[in-house]
Amino acid sequence: MVISHRQAKGFIDGRCVTVNGEMIEKHGHRLNPGDTVKVIFDPELTYDVLPAARKLQAGPFETLWEDNHLLFVFKPAGLLTVPAEQGGEPSLAEAITESYRRRGFKRFNLFIVHRLDRFTSGVLVFAKTPEALHGLKKHFELHRLQRIYYAVLVGELPENSGTLAGHLIEHAKSLKMSVATPRKGPGGGKRMPAGAKEAVTHYRVIERLPGHTVVEVKLETGRRNQIRVQFADRGFPLLGDQVYGTESPLLDRQALHAELLGFKHPVTEEQVTVTAPMPADMEAAMKALRNQARMHRAVSGVKGEEGIYQPTETRDHKLKRVARAKR
């Protein structure tokens, strides 16, 4: 058997080589006269050289659920879902593909079904076969799936539940999304501007904290930046959202987490529901807000149910909210 220098390095990186019974992990290991070298490998697999450690550590991911057709992973905040056009930054799709390559898969196809914003964490699904890709695209197009997010809003949301319904449009120059407003048409009637797409978001309050509201959000549609834009338009931007809100000392990214994704399996037709635990940075931000509430109650000397934080809304904020609802 004749192998190339690169293949030999691949065997070492694949932990296939031992010298005198000891595993060899570094390239360039020097042999001495009489050394016994053994190489145990699977001829059906391809063993390639691992990339530099810096590249491997740039895009970590955690598998939440997997079968032959689907792959659910946890996307950490700050990591791109797919490579950017200009390149140069790590992405989740590249990290997954590289991981399978290192495991010896000669041909591995990863199909992009949906994305999460760069600074949003949570559960994300990829298709591994064309059949799964086709079925998942249908689910997303027809909204035949369950998507639940957790978000921390800046402000005291007055109601306990509701629905945000409207249209979103992308600005050509800034690429930022905004809520579209009807314009007068040729016949005198009003119509949405070209490119505006329907966006429907359902929500309910999970917890009320000083100056903030924790909500559970259920997406009916899945427009880009939908949750962030619609709540910001109502006057309740997400905590830490540096695009549609303001920076926060509590969190260095928007407080948005994709907690649950569920649908009927596109191949087996079984119900699949996958959840992702709340990340530590959001937990820490909410803990800090809860501590503020406890401190306030302790200083005030209140006990029991008395003094429990209640939402308030200024008259000016209410007038603006009503005006937006009448558009």
The DSSP result for 214-256, as a single string, is EEEEEESS--TTHHHHHHHHTT-PBTT-TTTS---SS-SS--E
Nearest by Cα to 263 from 92, 142, 165: 142
| β-sheet bridge partners, residue 161 | 204
Residue 232 located in a structural domain: no
Would strands 256-264 and 121-127 be described as parallel, antiparallel, or unpaired? parallel
Residue 192 located in a structural domain: no
**Confidence check: pLDDT of 158 > 50:** yes
Residue 265 located in a structural domain: no
**Confidence check: pLDDT of 323 > 80:** no
Residues 238 and 28 sit within 8 Å (Cβ to Cβ): no
pLDDT for residue 243: 94
**Mean pLDDT of all residues in the chain?**
85
Work out how many domains the chain is built from and give that number.
Answer: 1
Residues 162 and 321 sit within 8 Å (Cβ to Cβ): no
**Confidence check: pLDDT of 183 > 60:** yes
Helical (H) or strand (E) element with 62:
strand 62-66
Per-residue pLDDT reduced to its tens digit, 86-142? 667 889 998 998 888 888 877 788 999 999 999 999 999 999 999 999 999 999 999
Question: In this predicted structure, which of 33-37, 64-68, 190-194, 246-250 has the lowest mean pLDDT?
Answer: 190-194
Per-residue pLDDT band for 272 (boundaries 50, 70, 90) equals very high
pTM: 0.73
Per-residue pLDDT reduced to its tens digit, 277-312? 999 999 999 999 999 877 766 676 666 555 455 555
Domain span holding position 22: 1-50
| β-sheet bridge partners, residue 167 | 198
Would strands 146-154 and 212-219 be described as parallel, antiparallel, or unpaired? antiparallel
**Confidence check: pLDDT of 2 > 50:** yes
- Strongest mean pLDDT among 77-86, 150-159, 303-312, 318-327: 150-159
Interval 263-284 mean pLDDT: 96
**Confidence check: pLDDT of 10 > 80:** no
- Which CATH number covers residue 18? 3.10.290
Question: How remote is the C-alpha of 207 from its chain's centroid?
Answer: 22
**Confidence check: pLDDT of 179 > 80:** yes
Residue 122 located in a structural domain: no
Residue 165 located in a structural domain: no
Contacts of 257 (CB under 8 A, 6+ apart): 120, 121, 122, 149, 150, 151, 276, 278, 279, 282
Task: Please give the single-letter amino acid code of residue 58.
Answer: A
Catalytic positions are 117
Residues 183 and 190 sit within 8 Å (Cβ to Cβ): yes
Residue 2 located in a structural domain: yes
Residue 7 located in a structural domain: yes
**Confidence check: pLDDT of 56 > 70:** no
